[in-house]
Structure 1
Amino acid sequence: MSFSPVISFDEITKKFPIRKGFKVQYVHAVRNVSLDIYQGEIISIVGESGCGKTTLLRLLARIYLEDNGEIVFEGKSIPKRFSRREELEFRRKVQMIFQDPFSSLNPVKKIYQILKRPLELQKFDNVEKRIYEALEEVELTPPDNFINKYPYELSGGQRQRVVIARAIITKPSVILADEPTSMLDVSIRAGIMKLMLKIRDDFNTTYLHVTHDLAASRYISDRIAVMYAGMLLEVGLSDEVVLNPLHPYTKLLRKAAPDPDKLVSEKLGNTGEVPNLITPPKGCPFEPRCNYSMEKCKNTIPPYFEIDGRKIRCFLFEK
Structure 2
Amino acid sequence: MVPVGNEPLLKLDNLHKHFGQRSGLTDLIFGRDKEIVKAVDGVSFDLQEEDAVGVIGESGCGKSTLLHTLIGFHEPTKGEIYYEGEPISEFSKADWKEYRRNVQIIFQDPFNTLDPKLTVKETLKEPLIVHNMENKEERIHDVLERVELSPSEQYAEQFPDQLSGGEKQRVAIARALVLEPKVLLADEPVSMLDVSTQASILDLLSDLVDSLGVSLLYISHDLSTVSYVCDAVNVMYLGTNVETGPTTEIIEDPLHPYTQGLISAIPIPDPDYDRPRTEIQGSAQDPVDIGGGCRFADRCPEKMDICEKAPELVDAGSNRKVSCHLHYDHDEIDNNKDAHPTES
TM-score, normalising length from structure 1? 0.95
Report the equivalent of 1:227. 236
Displaced runs of 4 or more, over 4 A:
none
Task: Work out whether 1:257 is the aligned partner of 2:266.
Answer: yes
Would the aligned equivalents of 1:305 and 1:313 in 2 still touch at CA under 8 Å? no
Who is 1:5 aligned against? 8
Q: Could you tell me which runs of 5 or more consecutive residues in structure 2 were left unpaired when the two chains were aligned.
A: 330-344
In structure 2, the partner of 1:151 is 160
* Match in the other structure for 1:40: 50
Alignment of 1:22-37 (within 5 A): 22=27, 23=32, 24-37=34-47
Q: Give the deviation of 1:265 after TM superposition.
A: 5.6
Q: Distance in 2 between matches of 1:260 and 1:240?
A: 22
Match of 1:18 in 2: 21
Which residue identity lines up with residue 52 of structure 1 in the other structure? G
SS at structure 1 position matched to 2:109: coil
For residue 305 of structure 1, report the CA deviation from its aligned partner: 2.9
Give 1:285's match in structure 2, choosing from 292, 295, 311. 295
Distance (whole Å) between structure 2 residues aligned to residue 184 and residue 91 of structure 1: 27
1:213–1:270 CA distance, 2 compared to 1 (3 A)? closer
**2:78 is equivalent to residue 71 of structure 1:** no
Q: Check if 1:88 corresponds to 2:97.
A: yes
CA-based RMSD? 1.7
How far apart, CA to CA, are the structure 2 residues paired with 1:317 and 1:301?
10
- Give, as a single letter, the amino acid of the residue that structure 2 aligns with 1:6: L
Tell me, yes or no, if the aligned pair for 1:284 and 1:302 is still in contact at 8 Å: no
Conservation of the 8 A alpha-carbon contact between 2:144 and 2:150: yes
Identity of matched residues, %: 39
1:123 paired to 2:126: no
1:64, 1:227 → 2: CA distance? 19
Is 1:140 aligned with 2:143?
no
Match of 1:108 among 102, 117, 126: 117
Counterpart position of 1:204 = 213
Is 2:245 the counterpart of 1:236?
yes
- Cα contact 2:62–2:239 (8 A) shared by 1: yes
The reply to whether residue 175 of structure 1 matches residue 184 of structure 2 is yes
TM-superposed CA distance for 1:312, in Å, is 0.6
Secondary structure of the 1:11 match is: strand
Q: Is the 1:14–1:29 Cα contact (8 Å) retained in structure 2?
A: yes
Match of 1:317 in 2: 327
Q: CA shift at 1:99, angstroms?
A: 0.2
Query: Matches of 2:276 and 2:289 in 1, distance apart?
Result: 32
CA shift for structure 1 position 233: 0.5
Distance 1:265 1:155 in 2: 37
State whether structure 2 residue 102 is matched by structure 1 residue 97. no
2-structure distance, mates of 1:261, 1:236: 28
SS of the equivalent of 2:211 reads helix
Unaligned runs of 5+ in 1: none
Aligned to 2:9, what secondary structure does the other structure show?
strand
The alignment of Structure 1 onto Structure 2 pairs a total of residues equal to: 317
SS at match of 1:63: coil
The residue type paired with residue 156 of structure 2 is I
